[in-house]
A and B are shown apart, each in its own frame.
Chain A
């Protein structure tokens, strides 16, 4: 029997007819669709239960309370802690994506020396050699931490200098500190008792200070009220988000806020709107008004509005003394609703030591802002978690990332109450990383370790028997049985708050009206300026790229 072409055709027809009665076409049709629902190149989340832990945020000095959801050993979501005494359940905008930062493409996981790959032993050797040769500077961006103790001790023991790099919010308090003779770190803003807040460009509603503190306050006392309990007057050249929502917005000419402050001072004193008689600026009202580009009537109007509804406090984003002096005139330094001394301060190790002229090497802790340009001399050992780009450092040393390090969080710069919190290492510290304190301990094993310093601090708080611990609910320190119990509570995400602030009057020795800051200091230029890490979480692109609600930032993104 010969197989013909015709047979082939008929056979094929038979197969075709038969295949319809098998699962082949139908199962394939379904499975191919399911395949399109499960493409292998599309990541899917891990399976398994989710656990929730509390921890303070370690990204900036504010130390907001976070609720961290963990699955399969990784954080999968961050939210605020409702009723948290500092943050009232809020976080900053980008904090909600902070758990993604550890995988940021700019994450540093290799030691780099002069732009080339290097190793920890080499860095260690280079630093040891430098230590042997000359004085060392150690720079700390967030003094008062347990790690700061190690940094400071090291500097002291090795003929070095411990220098702190104050953040913008501490810097803004510096004039008052200078005039009243107390450290800036002991000052804070009594926002809760203020009824008028005049902000010279401070992004109060946009991540200033501890974000939730002011936003909640504003929301309850100002938002949507035609005659608000809390008047927010924003003085800023552009209509920023804070300006848009302020009770009043005054568009001052760029870089002339000092002049406006002078004009206001003139009106306040000359029209006896304040008790103070001086000091008075040299500039006349007319001159100042011309500089600021504002009609005199408007300035006078503003001055009246400032005192109409006291207490009033003036807040600047940059610590311009000419603006700060307004608070002295207003009597807002050392009075409720103004700039006040923090509640009873539990003594900590001292402040920055003075700097010798020359250093053989500088160690920069990861807490120091990336854009700080280190002193030119000497070899720079820069600790950082992310590569913010364009580094001047000789050594780039990878630090543990978000939630990868045990650290404590001392009082936030703007806070009126002293606080303390502990962030445990919820994630294992990557082997490629070291903190500056760990690094220095390898040179000098006698340095106090972070764990011990935290114990000591908890012991101190326990002994002082002051304030309360908030962990879901408040419990007075006096009711704790032991320092260990207190520490345990703090390690579970609790926060210690000292007593309410003191009403200690501060005497400001301000005789002559200060000159406006010589060079206009870097006021917040974009909305990312309140964000401490040198990189933004990739999801920030939702705001600057996938919507029009924000201007694109100058900061490095992904």
Chain B
């Protein structure tokens, strides 16, 4: 074994089965390249400004906001699993908890990183904390996401210090032990924050009175999208988690969690998705018949533009909403691993489509009667920056999988070690 491999081995838990160093590096290589490309693209945006993107005054939000909203929804698995395990005591989901934390952490930190590229003056972004406008949904989002990111880091640290080398530092062990007591509290706080900001991300567009396509009425200060976003996020979170674990199993060739966990995640996703689709249908009905006409806009103002015709509405509701919900809930289909994963993928696509419609379609549709319908294709810098975030997620998860006890099955000697 080479020097590098020896060092590498020393950081991996004893007795844990992992790919060879060479194979692992080979696996990382393309992702690192993508990450570097992403950093380069982001660097261009910092140096030259946002003219590197294809956003414009009319498409003031572009692919980045769409995908940010999407990955934050996907990352909802983190808080929701924590919430299920610690608050609702669904302990059978514990095996995927660490994965959920890592997925959440990468999704959130990635989203924040992209947001920092997306704003024109990142050096002044802290003004939101110093001069907050409490009426703005974006203030709510900023506060909640930053706080929740902190929570995720705190949740990640106890996992991190279980690394073979880090465990050797005695104070870290003490910390880990203490932190475990804290984790339920963190899960509670995290759940609270997350419910809020998933909601406020929905509110982000729902409050836009000037964009009748997105504008919704609601309860108190929150438009209905606030609640719909929470619902769709907690519906898609478990699905995405399921896909991540399935991907990890596929790549490592190991069985990491029991199939029952899949089924449970699927069932949760399915039920929530069903509720979501129903709520969304009612919301769409009320919006099209009450909210929107009041602002002077009718369905034709939204659905007469190719390609955003009513097929999008149908797709988001039936094949990407109802269908996966049924697949998840009906025992005959839910027993089937392939169908379960298909349903999870459909759910993710459904949420992606929903976020796309809320962000991109809202901006593409004209508001002024003499305005044209607009198109926007992201520039390579935008795509690459996001690719970088994707690579970052894969790399962090891969490293975590290799060096940390992500699953009971691959924990190695870390099993049954107690402080005594």
A–B contact with Cβ pairs below 8 Å: the answer is yes
Verify if A32 is at the interface (C-beta below 8 Å from B).
yes
Contact with A along B115-154 (1 / 0, CB 8 A): 0000001011011000000000000000000000000000
Which A residues lie within 8 Å of B126 (CB)? 29, 33
Verify if A36 is at the interface (C-beta below 8 Å from B).
yes
Q: Which residue of B lies closest to A36 (CB)?
A: B123
Least CB distance, B284 to chain A, in whole angstroms? 34
Which A residues lie within 8 Å of B121 (CB)? 36
Which B residues lie within 8 Å of A36 (CB)? 121, 123-124
Contact with A along B154-192 (1 / 0, CB 8 A): 000000000000000000000000000000000000000
35-57 of chain A: CB within 8 A of chain B: 35-37
A33 to B128, CA, bound (A): 13
Q: Which residue of A lies closest to B372 (CB)?
A: A548
Which B residues lie within 8 Å of A35 (CB)? 123
A35 to B121, CA, bound (A): 11
A32 to B124, CA, bound (A): 8
Q: Which residue of A lies closest to B57 (CB)?
A: A546
A538 to B121, CA, bound (A): 27
Q: Which residue of A lies closest to B120 (CB)?
A: A36
Least CB distance, A175 to chain B, in whole angstroms? 43
Which B residues lie within 8 Å of A33 (CB)? 123-124, 126-127
Least CB distance, A312 to chain B, in whole angstroms? 35
A460 to B121, CA, bound (A): 63
A35 to B123, CA, bound (A): 9
Least CB distance, B351 to chain A, in whole angstroms? 36
Which B residues lie within 8 Å of A29 (CB)? 126
A66 to B121, CA, bound (A): 39
Which B residues lie within 8 Å of A37 (CB)? 124
Least CB distance, B188 to chain A, in whole angstroms? 28
Contact with A along B98-130 (1 / 0, CB 8 A): 000000000000000000000001011011000
Interface size class of B (residues with CB under 8 A): under 10
Contact with B along A1-33 (1 / 0, CB 8 A): 000000000000000000000000000010011
Least CB distance, B58 to chain A, in whole angstroms? 13
Q: Which residue of B lies closest to A32 (CB)?
A: B123
Which A residues lie within 8 Å of B124 (CB)? 33, 36-37
A191 to B299, CA, bound (A): 52
Which A residues lie within 8 Å of B123 (CB)? 32-33, 35-36
Least CB distance, A453 to chain B, in whole angstroms? 52
Least CB distance, A4 to chain B, in whole angstroms? 15
Least CB distance, A549 to chain B, in whole angstroms? 13
Q: Which residue of A lies closest to B125 (CB)?
A: A33
Which A residues lie within 8 Å of B127 (CB)? 33
Q: Which residue of B lies closest to A37 (CB)?
A: B124
Q: Which residue of B lies closest to A33 (CB)?
A: B124
Which B residues lie within 8 Å of A32 (CB)? 123
A471 to B36, CA, bound (A): 68
Q: Which residue of B lies closest to A546 (CB)?
A: B57
A259 to B388, CA, bound (A): 68
Q: Which residue of A lies closest to B122 (CB)?
A: A36
58-108 of chain A: CB within 8 A of chain B: none
Least CB distance, B48 to chain A, in whole angstroms? 13
Least CB distance, A32 to chain B, in whole angstroms? 5
Of B121, B123, B127, the most chain A CB neighbours within 10 A belong to B123
Of A32, A33, A37, the most chain B CB neighbours within 10 A belong to A33
A35 to B127, CA, bound (A): 14
A37 to B120, CA, bound (A): 12
Least CB distance, A223 to chain B, in whole angstroms? 20
A35 to B122, CA, bound (A): 12
Least CB distance, B190 to chain A, in whole angstroms? 26
A32 to B121, CA, bound (A): 11
265-318 of chain B: CB within 8 A of chain A: none
Q: Which residue of A lies closest to B127 (CB)?
A: A33
Least CB distance, A545 to chain B, in whole angstroms? 14
Q: Which residue of A lies closest to B121 (CB)?
A: A36
A521 to B124, CA, bound (A): 58
A36 to B127, CA, bound (A): 13
Least CB distance, A42 to chain B, in whole angstroms? 12
A413 to B84, CA, bound (A): 86
A36 to B121, CA, bound (A): 8
A219 to B173, CA, bound (A): 84
Least CB distance, A231 to chain B, in whole angstroms? 28
Least CB distance, B121 to chain A, in whole angstroms? 6
A488 to B263, CA, bound (A): 95
A33 to B119, CA, bound (A): 14
Contact with A along B236-257 (1 / 0, CB 8 A): 0000000000000000000000
A32 to B126, CA, bound (A): 11
A35 to B124, CA, bound (A): 10
A32 to B127, CA, bound (A): 12
Least CB distance, B167 to chain A, in whole angstroms? 18
A33 to B124, CA, bound (A): 5
Q: Which residue of A lies closest to B126 (CB)?
A: A29
498-516 of chain A: CB within 8 A of chain B: none
Least CB distance, B146 to chain A, in whole angstroms? 15
A506 to B123, CA, bound (A): 74
Least CB distance, B127 to chain A, in whole angstroms? 7
A36 to B124, CA, bound (A): 8
67-105 of chain B: CB within 8 A of chain A: none
A296 to B65, CA, bound (A): 61
A558 to B84, CA, bound (A): 64
Least CB distance, A12 to chain B, in whole angstroms? 16
Contact with B along A97-122 (1 / 0, CB 8 A): 00000000000000000000000000
A29 to B123, CA, bound (A): 8
Least CB distance, A64 to chain B, in whole angstroms? 33
332-374 of chain A: CB within 8 A of chain B: none
A32 to B125, CA, bound (A): 12
A201 to B127, CA, bound (A): 56
Contact with B along A238-278 (1 / 0, CB 8 A): 00000000000000000000000000000000000000000
Least CB distance, A243 to chain B, in whole angstroms? 19
A36 to B122, CA, bound (A): 9
Least CB distance, B166 to chain A, in whole angstroms? 14
Least CB distance, A80 to chain B, in whole angstroms? 30
Q: Which residue of A lies closest to B124 (CB)?
A: A33
Least CB distance, B45 to chain A, in whole angstroms? 15
A37 to B121, CA, bound (A): 9
Q: Which residue of B lies closest to A548 (CB)?
A: B372
A37 to B127, CA, bound (A): 13
Least CB distance, A483 to chain B, in whole angstroms? 57
Least CB distance, B370 to chain A, in whole angstroms? 11
A6 to B387, CA, bound (A): 40
A393 to B127, CA, bound (A): 59
Q: Which residue of B lies closest to A35 (CB)?
A: B123
Q: Which residue of A lies closest to B123 (CB)?
A: A36
Least CB distance, A381 to chain B, in whole angstroms? 44
353-374 of chain B: CB within 8 A of chain A: none
Least CB distance, A249 to chain B, in whole angstroms? 20
A128 to B126, CA, bound (A): 70
Least CB distance, A5 to chain B, in whole angstroms? 12
A33 to B129, CA, bound (A): 14
Least CB distance, A2 to chain B, in whole angstroms? 20
A29 to B121, CA, bound (A): 13
A390 to B121, CA, bound (A): 43
A37 to B123, CA, bound (A): 10
467-492 of chain A: CB within 8 A of chain B: none
A460 to B127, CA, bound (A): 68
Least CB distance, B368 to chain A, in whole angstroms? 14
A29 to B124, CA, bound (A): 9
Q: What is B's interface to A at a CB cutoff of 8 Å?
A: 121, 123-124, 126-127
Name 11 A/B residue pairs within 8 A (Cβ), A-sorted: A29-B126, A32-B123, A33-B123, A33-B124, A33-B126, A33-B127, A35-B123, A36-B121, A36-B123, A36-B124, A37-B124
Closest 7 CB pairs of A and B: A36-B123, A33-B124, A32-B123, A33-B123, A36-B121, A36-B124, A29-B126
**With A32-B123, A33-B124, A36-B123 already in contact, 8 other A-B pairs whose C-beta atoms are closer than 8 Å:** A29-B126, A33-B123, A33-B126, A33-B127, A35-B123, A36-B121, A36-B124, A37-B124
